[in-house]
Amino acid sequence: MRKAFPVDGPPDPSTITTHFCPTCADLRATLGGLAWSAVPDDILDETVTVNALLSPMAFRYYLPAFMCRAIASPLNPGVGASRVLDYVAMSLCLHGGDAWWLERMQGLTPPQRRVIRAFLQWASDVLIDQEEERTRMMIHYALRPYGTAAGW
């Protein structure tokens, strides 16, 4: 993860979101100044539900933090996929050629795309024995644009 997603300096807080609603202001204040590798688990748990508000650059920067959190705690006992795993998988799904999704993904390098594919494959394998059909299907859908050529 660290090899594909270097822990360079965090994005400038003003660039974490592209607009200035109260939720985005909270997101900028919460993540501002934090390197992706230093974001505490409780912040990842709280902010994963609003990761769609991250600017494309901030999404790409903080994505490995969310993936690491999902790996550390993939399942909720008796429920299936953790909320973090569910939202991360959803954020990686191609939304019908949507320009918003493409803008978020186009800045990823081939090594980063390979890590994302490995993460999604791992998530699919983790959920194989779970009753979490919706998340499993979403992960299989998310894997499609990360094919062996990883080109979209």
Q: What is the band of 150 on the pLDDT scale with cuts at 50, 70, 90?
A: very low
6 within a domain of the structure (yes/no): no
CA-to-CA distance for 31 and 94, rounded, in angstroms?
A: 25
90 within a domain of the structure (yes/no): yes
131 within a domain of the structure (yes/no): yes
CA-to-CA distance for 15 and 32, rounded, in angstroms?
A: 9
Model pTM above 0.85:
yes
1 within a domain of the structure (yes/no): no
Rounded average pLDDT over 44-55: 93
| pLDDT higher than threshold 60 for residue 97 | yes
Residue-range definition of the domain harbouring residue 121: 13-146
50 within a domain of the structure (yes/no): yes
Give the residue ranges of DSSP H helices in the chain.
22-31, 41-47, 56-72, 83-91, 99-105, 110-126, 133-143
Whole-angstrom distance between the N-terminal and C-terminal Cα of the chain?
21
Two tokens, residue 105: 């993904």
Q: What type of residue is 152? A: W
Report how many domains make up the chain.
1
CA-to-CA distance for 104 and 115, rounded, in angstroms?
A: 16
Condensed to tens digits (0 to 9), the pLDDT of residues 54-64 reads: 999 999 999 99
5 within a domain of the structure (yes/no): no
Share of the chain above pLDDT 70, in %: 87
64 within a domain of the structure (yes/no): yes
